């Protein structure tokens, strides 16, 4: 474990990711709900057998539950034997990215092609994220012309290493800097950058094109 309570936090993360109750996880892992609750709330590590059952119940790996491989890119394992690529329609793409999270914005900056991670939320069908007013991204995404926005790309994906499946969604649209009167409403969606700092400029991407792919078994 990387620190006290890390196992519990990862159990909670995967349980909520799957929309499971403690009772459902306990049933899948052949253990009592009280023990699942104990593991979530106390810095402890169960035996190998319990870890295997718990990882299987949460559709992840023991390595992931114990915090192993945090410094490596996801998707390092081999592909499934017969993968199938499914083209996703617009509605499914919006459903997948609807909960918000961390995505990537891609644009041509003063330093060349640039891709940066951002925390985002969806608001009225648009992607909303925050950056620093007057910062490098603010300047790179400003045309200097009123009513003219720079078109950028936004990408988010999910990789399920246990099942060797995943999906990705690509959004393309203008990056609109929200004016002060627009910011109050946008702030209500609760997007908060992990990196902290004074990032009070809200940028909205209204999808002009949205495409997606899902990889799964045949």
Q: Find, among 98, 94, 121, 93, the residue nearest to 185 by Cα.
A: 121
Q: Which pLDDT score is estimated for 91?
A: 95
Over residues 132-184, the pLDDT tens digits come to 999 999 999 998 888 889 999 999 998 876 677 889 999 999 999 998 888 88
- For residue 20, what are the CA distances in angstroms to 44, 161, 165, 192, 201? 21, 19, 20, 26, 36
Q: What is the CATH number of domain 83-217?
A: 2.30.110.10
Its pTM stands at: 0.72
Q: Which pLDDT score is estimated for 65?
A: 86
- For residue 32, what are the CA distances in angstroms to 16, 25, 35, 61, 99? 18, 9, 5, 20, 30
Q: Encoding tokens for residue 182? A: 């627009």
Q: What is the CATH number of domain 6-65?
A: 1.10.260.40
Q: Which pLDDT score is estimated for 3?
A: 41
124 half-sphere exposure, CB direction, 13 A CA radius: 8
Q: Which pLDDT score is estimated for 2?
A: 41
**Rg (alpha carbons) of the chain, rounded to whole number:** 20
- For residue 168, what are the CA distances in angstroms to 16, 79, 127, 149, 182? 21, 16, 15, 25, 29
Q: Which pLDDT score is estimated for 162?
A: 64
Q: Which pLDDT score is estimated for 50?
A: 92
Q: Which pLDDT score is estimated for 170?
A: 98
Torsion angles phi and psi, residue 160, rounded to 5: -100, 95
Tens-binned pLDDT, residue by residue, of the chain (218 aa): 344 458 898 899 889 988 899 999 999 999 999 999 999 998 888 888 999 999 999 988 888 888 776 667 776 666 777 888 999 999 999 999 999 999 999 999 999 999 999 999 999 899 999 999 999 999 999 988 888 899 999 999 988 766 778 899 999 999 999 988 888 887 888 888 888 878 889 999 999 999 999 998 76
DSSP β-ladder status, 150-160 and 126-131: unpaired
3-state DSSP assignment of residue 218 = coil
Domain residue ranges in the chain:
6-65, 83-217
């Amino acid at each position: 474990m990387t620190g006290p309570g890390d196992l519990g936090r990862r159990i909670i993360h995967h349980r909520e990711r799957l929309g499971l109750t403690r009772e459902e996880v306990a049933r899948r892992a052949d253990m009592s709900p009280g023990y699942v609750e104990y593991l979530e709330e106390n810095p402890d590590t169960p035996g190998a057998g319990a870890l295997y059952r718990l990882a299987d119940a949460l559709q992840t790996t023991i390595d992931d539950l114990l915090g192993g491989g945090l410094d490596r890119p996801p998707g390092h394992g081999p592909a499934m034997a017969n993968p199938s690529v499914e083209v996703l329609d617009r509605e499914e793409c919006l459903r997948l990215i609807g909960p918000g999270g961390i995505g990537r914005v891609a644009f041509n900056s003063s330093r060349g092609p640039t891709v940066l991670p951002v925390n985002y939320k969806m608001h009225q069908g648009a992607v909303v994220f925050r950056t620093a007013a007057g910062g490098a991204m603010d300047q790179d995404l400003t045309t200097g012309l009123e009513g003219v926005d720079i078109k950028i790309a936004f990408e988010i994906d999910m990789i399920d290493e246990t099942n060797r499946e995943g999906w990705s969604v690509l959004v393309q649209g203008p990056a609109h800097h929200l004016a002060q009167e627009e910011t109050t409403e946008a702030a209500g969606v609760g997007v908060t950058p992990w990196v902290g700092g004074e990032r009070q400029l809200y940028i909205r991407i209204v999808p002009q094109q949205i495409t997606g792919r899902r990889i799964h078994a045949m």
